[in-house]
Structure 1
Amino acid sequence: MHNPGTASQERFPAADRFAEGAQFIAGRLTKGTSGRRHAVVDPATGDEVYTYDLAGTDDVDAAVAAARAAFPGWASATPGERSDALHRFAAVLAERAEDFARAESLQCGKPLKLSREFDVPGTVDNTAFFAGAARHLQGQSAGEYSGDHTSYVRREPIGVVGSIAPWNYPLQMAAWKVLPAIAAGNTIVLKPAELTPLTSLLFAQAATAAGLPDGVINIVTGTGREAGEHLVGHPDVAMTSFTGSTGVGKRVAEVATATVKRLHLELGGKAPFVVFDDADLDAAVNGAVAGALINTGQDCTAATRAYVQRPLYEAFVERTAALMETVRLGDPFAPGTDLGPLISHAQRDRVAGFVERARAYARVVTGGEAPGGDLAKGAYYRPTLIAGAAQDSEIVQSEIFGPVLVVLPFDTDDEGIRLANDTPYGLAASAWSGSVYRANRATRDIKAGCVWINDHIPIISEMPHGGYKASGFGKDMSMYSFEEYTQVKHVMFDNTAVARKDWHRTIFGDR
């Protein structure tokens, strides 16, 4: 049976919406059938806030069957009908914004101000964007490209999409997976991380309240090894989209290719933050702290490697450390909190392990420890700045996923660009300069899916998000994402009404 846990009504006002279970299949909540249970834990306190039955393979099969049954009707709806449904969906999300914000902060530990001002409004905006995108099926203009025929392109939905979302931004990642898929006429089964299923389930419930047909959006909450692999390998799933670590992404690709699925992977990152010597130092310092600490550093685009041209290096280190020390750790629901805990004690210990190993070859300028006192029971870790590490060291090359920024100096512009590109990843980067020529060069030469100039982190629904190299392939958000969830079909009409075509002679007979 479902256990509501210990969260108060104030922290978790939507608790009663999960009474029937944590699987959302064909428009209703059900309990998982794996025979195993899992607890959602508030990482700020260590308290269990919701306990549920995990999905098994039978639940995945039921969700895929529901999505497959809903597909013909949803695919045949007009773009305008799908657009209207998504506009209604956006309105319901906006009405329930506070429930979403509190559930997101509870399960993730992120400050309520971040959930209220970033995660939730971003999701509402993304929904409104794809409501508009549903009406814009783009392709090459119809024409007589051969002379004897008229050709045009159709964009058609692919079928059932099976997607897997991570735990760092569970609401936004659910939206990024679901919205382009259904706007294009597909149906979907989403597996959120078992640590953070609450807002994905609220998202699906809001879709039903907005009038989307049962089975268009389905949620299975289970482990990656059982529910995730079964979903990715399911023969009735036509496409898989995955966001998570590069290591797990490789396994997803391996499973998906066995059934020749279309595949979209948004994987790890190690974003460089390149500060040239003509940069506004105040802007760079503020940008580095914000870019490194957003979501307690659990962001694949977070600033993790600051490369600072030598004339500014010492001042940057000193001022960045000083600003980090003013960041307020605390209860995510307290108005004065800037930084919440990591997602779990295990993740906190993983981050601490990277920092402790780095002490052997680098200098911890500030941070580098878990706080004591009232915060000791949570998965907190202080904002950490590290200097003096080598480019090939673990702390520079590996994705840490915590509130840790490493700073290295460089001398020439060529060296700065080279160091920025010197990891396996290529998801995001930023460059800081007062010169349009330096900035423009950085946008050309840094190999990443997004390059910010004199800022780091902001995203918008109209522009794509996705990586180069080991950060994966495919795009979230924007029309580029929408198009990835469509099949392109070439249609060609004969215009001659001639039975014996001239080209037939190449197969039989003479001219």
Structure 2
Amino acid sequence: MTYRFDHFIAGASSTPASGKYLPKMEPATGKPLAQVAAGDKSDVDKAVQSAYTAWPAWRDRRPIERGRILLKIAEKIRERINEIATIEARETGKPLVQALREVEGAAQYFEFYGGLVNVMHGEVIDIGAAYHSYTRREPYGVVGVITPWNAPINQGGRGIAPALAVGNVVVAKPSEETSGSLLEVARLAVDECGLPPGVLNVVLGAGQEAGKSLVEHPLVRKVAFTGSVRAGREIGRIAAERIIPLTLELGGKSPNIVFEDADLSLAVPGSVRAFTANAGQICLAGTRCLVQESIHDAFVERVTRAVKAIKVGADKDATMGPLTTKPQFEKVQEYFNVAKSEGAKLEIGGQKLANDESTAGWFVEPTVYSGVTNDMRIAREEIFGPVLAIIPFTDDEDAIRLANDTEYGLAAGIWTRDLSRGLRVAARLEAGQIYVNEYQAGGVETPLGGYKGSGYGREKGVEALHHYTQLKCVTIKL
């Protein structure tokens, strides 16, 4: 059975102006799953106009009233969690248990910001008894939220919830590969939670057409984008010409540092999760594992054994699913050839899975390479798949040098029993998130964002609200 996904504009489904649809294939089977509306400039304009019309009334509501609606959305997402997670699992290919966690994460964003917005205030500034000076945080207006295909519902909630909480209205553009779960949330928000029509719109289609049109639209005053560095540069160019603010969360090639005093009973499974979660399709993935020379061989042996136990497939007991898109499936296989040509030592994996009933889609083996140097392509380029490059280092200074020798700076991991070492190294790593004796820890409360080529601005936590508001200062002579 195939589905048809249309835009969601002004509180209702809307067919594409062109009448055109894009094919969506199911990652686990490689067979047709859906037809997705091919949005163009006219569809984007319709959605933006709808949002702009709805903005004044939404902006002028008391924060506590907006918060109540967001809390209701969180409640309804949880009531429909199995339905939404099933859509997410089929579209992305991830195991259902992982999709359930993604949907729960989305609910938490609406819950967190629905409560937090009630305590957002400006400040009074003392500039002398003759004046009263204060600040206000005000919404931008229409915000464009462009999300990738690897975690659509979670990252949709991450951008939409804080934007709505502070009084913005949103036009969201999910990836054409994963549109269904966000459409469901938009519908239930309007139909079941009292969100006014037009406050949240969803436009589908390819990034080159619908996404670009959204960033270029004159009524869009702020954009949040998660995706590739290439696309981020193009969006940044358009935004710079229009002089509008951006939040960019781009790629990563995150170092995961294992010191010789690390507890390997924690570091090994943690390092495996760091590069195999969501089949490696996570910007934060710890795909460069820097291991101190004295424990290098033992670590490689234990990681290889742990990877061998991972069950890949579409079965209920599988712990790793397929890659989400066919181009990504082909890209990862190309890097297997790159690694071979560069002389890296293959410890395990390195090929696609042989097709059978449970692996007929875009499945690759989780793969570990040792003998890697930091100048190899597999150590420098974001593969976005379950591929780990293990690189030896000598001491703390060498580990820090190697970790920072990258164009990216999204995340980093540190494994050590010495808390002082952990704090010293964390302070010198050039990345927005540092995890010590864990990897990818934290929740909706912890700010997320990158250094260097990994982007700028912050999502999550209280900090995100600052990026979805603009600051006004009012000074009155008494």
Where on the TM-score scale, by shorter chain, does this alignment land: which range? over 0.9
Map of 2:136 onto structure 1:
154
SS in 1 for 2:171: strand
Q: Output the aligned Cα RMSD.
A: 1.2
Partner of 2:304: 321
Letter in 2 for 1:72: P
Q: 2:266 matched to 1:277?
A: no
Deviations 1:323-343 (A, max 9, x none): 101100111xx3211110001
Matches within 5 A, 1:385-400: 385-400=368-383
Aligned counterpart, 2:446: 463
- Do structure 1's residue 481 and structure 2's residue 455 form an aligned pair? no
AA aligned to 1:57 is K
Which of 406, 412, 416 is 1:423 aligned to?
Answer: 406
Measured against aligned partners, the alpha-carbon deviations of 1:2-23 in whole angstroms (never above 9, x if no partner) come to xx51xxxxxxxxx6xx6xx420
1:177-231 CA-to-partner distances (Å, cap 9, x unmatched) read 1111000100010100001101110111121121100011000001111111110
Shift of 1:376: 5.0
Structure with the greater alpha carbon radius of gyration: 1
1:239-280 residue CA offsets vs partner (Å, 9 max, x unmatched) = 011100111100001111221111111100111100111100
Identical counterparts, % of pairs: 38
Q: TM-score, normalization: structure 2?
A: 0.97
| 1:149/1:494 contact within 8 Å kept | yes
**Counterpart selection for 2:85 from 93, 101, 110:** 101
Gaps of 5+ in 1: 6-14, 496-511
| Structure 2 CA distance for partners of 1:373 and 1:84, relative to 1, 3 Å | same
Deviations 1:139-180 (A, max 9, x none): 33x243133201111111111001210000000111111111
Q: Find the counterpart in structure 2 of residue 230 from structure 1.
A: 213
One of 1, 5, 11 as aligned partner of 1:27: 11
Q: Residue type matched to 1:291 in 2?
A: A
- What is the distance in 2 between the residues matched to 1:459 and 1:123? 14
1:53 to 2:37 alignment = yes
Q: Deviations over 1:51-104 (max 9, x none)?
A: 133111111000000000000000000011001111111111111100111001
Q: In the alignment, which residue of structure 1 is the partner of 2:272? A: 289
Aligned to 1:133: 116
Contact 1:43 1:343 in 2 (8 A): yes
Instruction: Say if 1:34 and 1:57, in contact at 8 Å, map to a contact too.
Output: no
Matching of residue 345 in structure 1 with residue 326 in structure 2: yes
Which residue matches 1:216? 199
Q: Deviations over 1:7-45 (max 9, x none)?
A: xxxxxxxx6xx6xx4200000111112343212211000
TM-score normalized with structure 1 length: 0.91
The equivalent of 1:41 in structure 2 is 25
The answer on whether the counterparts of 1:308 and 1:410 sit within 8 Å (CA) in structure 2 is yes
Which residue pairs with 2:94 in the alignment? 110
The one-letter code sitting in structure 1 at the alignment partner of 2:183 is L
Q: Distance in 2 between matches of 1:97 and 1:467?
A: 30
Using the TM superposition, give the Cα deviation of residue 371 of structure 1 relative to its aligned residue in structure 2, in angstroms: 1.0
Q: How does 1:229-268 map to 2 (within 5 A)?
A: 229-268=212-251
SS in 2 for 1:163: strand
Deviations 1:407-466 (A, max 9, x none): 011111100011011100000111000001110012101111000000002231111010
- Structure-1 residue corresponding to 2:62: 78
1:455-508 Cα distance to aligned partner (Å, 9 max, x none)? 00223111101000000001111110011111111011111xxxxxxxxxxxxx
Asked if structure 1 preserves the Cα contact closer than 8 Å seen for 2:106 and 2:156, the reply is: no
Check the 8 A contact 1:233/1:258 in 2, yes or no.
no
2:326 is equivalent to residue 335 of structure 1: no
Give the aligned partner of residue 401 of structure 1: 384
Name the count of aligned residue pairs.
Answer: 475
Mapped contact 1:34–1:53 kept (Cα < 8 A): no
Q: Say which SS state the counterpart of residue 231 (structure 1) adopts.
A: helix
* Counterpart for residue 204 of structure 1: 186
The answer to whether residue 176 in structure 2 is matched with residue 191 in structure 1 is no
Residue 436 of structure 1 pairs with residue 430 of structure 2: no
For 1:92 and 1:362, the matched residues in 2 are separated by 49
Q: List gaps (5 residues or longer) in structure 2.
A: none
| Cα distance in 1 for residues equivalent to 2:19 and 2:429 | 48
Q: Aligned with 2:270: secondary structure?
A: helix
